[in-house]
Amino acid sequence: MILGVFDSGLGGLTVLREIIKNNTYDKIIYFGDTARLPYGDKDRETLLAYAREDVEFLIDKGAQEIVIACGTVSSNVLDDLKKEYSLPLIGIIDVLAKEAMAKTVNHRIGVIATPATVRTAVFTRKITGNDVYEAGCQKFTPLIEKDMIGSAEMDEAIAEYLEPLKKADIDTLIMGCTHYPLLEDKIRKCLDKPVNIVSSGTILAKELNIGEAREAELEFYVSGDPNDFIRKARRFLDVKEIEEVKKI
Ligand code: DGL
């Protein structure tokens, strides 16, 4: 079975790195649409047009199942895509909502996601019986993609976006964008108390990897600069796993 995984850029690697830990696929093809990121400030029509191209690219490369490792596409257009394509398309929203509901004790759940995801209010709609506090984090993805995780700007942005969630006394935080697990250590430090952090990679990996684990054959494609992608991506995946990235 060949799995396709796509995101606007590096974020989907936080999902891929979990899937490959116990990989059961013959091959995994990753596509990062780095020439057109961020997706998180785009309107629905643009996201649908981009997502169709991403899905069709992966189908052309042989994908038989696709993980949409992008909260923005999953929240805005997954239902439209499911009507148009017959292969299994797996988004990240439902698994995150379900896991957060299972983890929370005080029923106060925070969500950090892109503005385009927060616009859909998808988590507030899906997480019933709990108070949900959603924060649109415009600055995170561009700073991560510019290799600025360690910058003062990033620390300031984290403090700004988490402040209302801390005030709301959340005990569970959903990483509604796949880029954000790359900030997990910094986010934990900024929160005043231990909070359950819910990320899609680990949950999806458990659901997808059914069968005997084997080494994954990996193929990487980006729409932007492959050397730039490989340099940044190697920090999040082992070097041996990401040997070559092709530009489309
Ligand atoms: N990583 C994506 C998401 O999960 C997209 C971030 C962006 O490009 O703005 O939403």
Q: Give residue-wise pLDDT tens across range 75-90.
A: 999 999 999 999 999 9
Same domain, yes or no, for 121 and 212? no
User: Are 122 and 180 found together in one domain?
Assistant: yes
Same domain, 43 and 163: no
* Ligand 1 touching residue 170 (CB < 6 A): no
Nearest to 177 by CA among 61, 27, 68: 68
- Does 239 score more than 70 pLDDT? no
Residues 128 and 166 in one domain: yes
CA dihedral 185, 187, 193, 199 (to 10 degrees): -80
Question: Which residues constitute the domain of residue 130?
Answer: 93-199
Looking at residue 192, what is its pLDDT?
86
Mean pLDDT of the chain: 96
Q: Is the pLDDT of residue 13 over 70?
A: yes
pLDDT at position 138 over 90: yes
- 76 in contact with ligand 1, CB cutoff 6 A: no
- Same domain, residue pair 109 and 192: yes
Exposed e or buried b per residue across 43-73, where buried means at least 16 C-beta atoms within 10 angstroms of its C-beta: eeeebbebbebbbebbeeeebebbbbbbbbb
Q: What is the pTM of this model?
A: 0.96
Q: Measured from the CB, is residue 199 less than 6 Å from ligand 1?
A: no
Tell me the mean pLDDT in the region 138-151.
Answer: 96
Q: Does 62 share its domain with 99? A: no
Domain count, the chain: 2
188 and 98 in a single domain? The answer is yes
Percent of the chain whose pLDDT exceeds 90: 93
Percentage of the chain surpassing pLDDT 70? 100
**Letter for the amino acid at 177?**
C
Mutate to test the pocket of ligand 1, among 15, 120, 122, 179 (most ligand atoms within 8 A of CB): 179
In this structure, the answer to whether residues 102 and 21 fall within a common structural domain is no
Give the mean model confidence (pLDDT) for residues 24-41.
97
**103 and 166, same domain (yes or no):** yes
38 CA to centre of ligand 1 in angstroms: 6
